[in-house]
Amino acid sequence: MPARDETLLTVPNVSEGRDAGVIAQIGDAFASTGARLLDVHSDADHHRSVYTLAGSTNTLVAALVAGACACTRLVDLRAQRGSHPHVGALDVAPLVYLDDARRGAACAAALVAGEELGRAGLPVFLYGRLAGGRSRAELRRGGLRTLAERIAEGELQPDFGPRQPDPRTGVTLVGARPPLVAFNVELSPPATLQDARAIAARIRQGGPQGLPGVRAIGIELTAGGRRVAQVSTNVEDHRRIPLARLVAAVAQHAAVERCELVGLAPRAAFDGFPHDVSVANRRTLEDGLSS
């Protein structure tokens, strides 16, 4: 009988998307413990890099600690950090299970990672199923300054690590989850930032045309001298809301210019996807794990 695959993923999000040298150094740190670095996606407008790594529990926990140490040396949140909401240099560090059989291992690994990151000097907040469903958005509301005030007032307390965040490095959010799909939809001119924000408010979970498990914000891209309105989304359950349905929901309100995948997506997320809509960086988890 073949041995069960114990591989987990971690998808750390780092608040640096412009300095190629810093991005590479942080990637090297994540990979220094033997974890496989499957993908790196950086965006100058979001000022954010998303790394996808695969490995065993111990390897991934060590990778997150090594990467966190590099982030605290190389990323300074006191400088302007782009349009994506964030509260930390190593902003989010989820442990990802690829099937239900690995859920327990991912949850255990996330708790160990939180403790180890706390020992490394970072305040750590759990989110998702490990924190009674608390969302990243709840913790990021108002940014790092507001979060520090909520801690000082006793409303919140980190689950691991120091009580108060360093304004230079912030806090890290740790969770355990199945794969989600980070997917950006660019709107055709003359759509504006206000249009993107209005569409995001309509299609996100809880909106008037809300899609279950979809988080969405509207931003404006300006890198390279262009101005493009974008609906930036996270799809938490790609089987319930395939990307084709997400794009159709956006297209009800504005023409879609093109799309962009951030990181890797399960192949099934693209079931039924329209052939006439281009997707930058389209690459699947299955491709990454088999390479």
Q: Is-contact 124 205, C-beta < 8 A?
A: no
CA distances to 137, 139, 150 from 142, rounded to whole Å, are 9, 8, 10
pLDDT tier, 1 (very low <50, low <70, confident <90, very high otherwise): very low
57-74 vs 20-31: helix crossing angle, rounded to 10: 150
Query: Which amino acid would we find at residue 168?
Result: R
Please state, in angstroms and rounded to a whole number, the distance separating the CA atoms of residues 144 and 146. 5
CATH topology of domain 181-290: Alpha-Beta Plaits (3.30.70)
Minimal CA–CA distance to 255: which of 179, 210, 199, 203? Answer: 199
Tell me, what DSSP letter sits at residue 276? T
Catalytically annotated residue among 41, 47, 84, 86: 84
pTM of the model: 0.95
pLDDT at position 4, please? 63
pLDDT digits (tens, 9 = 90+) for 150-208: 999 999 999 999 999 999 999 999 999 999 999 999 999 999 999 999 999 999 999 99
The verdict on whether 84 is a catalytic residue reads yes
Query: Which amino acid would we find at residue 78?
Result: R
243-251 vs 193-203: helix crossing angle, rounded to 10: 130
Q: Is-contact 258 269, C-beta < 8 A?
A: no
CATH topology of domain 8-177: Formiminotransferase-cyclodeaminase; Chain B, domain 1 (3.30.990)
The stretch 269-277 carries a mean pLDDT of 97
Please state, in angstroms and rounded to a whole number, the distance separating the CA atoms of residues 104 and 248. 35
Residue ranges of the chain that CATH labels 3.30.990.10: 8-177
The stretch 62-79 carries a mean pLDDT of 97
The stretch 211-218 carries a mean pLDDT of 97
Percent of the chain whose pLDDT exceeds 70: 99
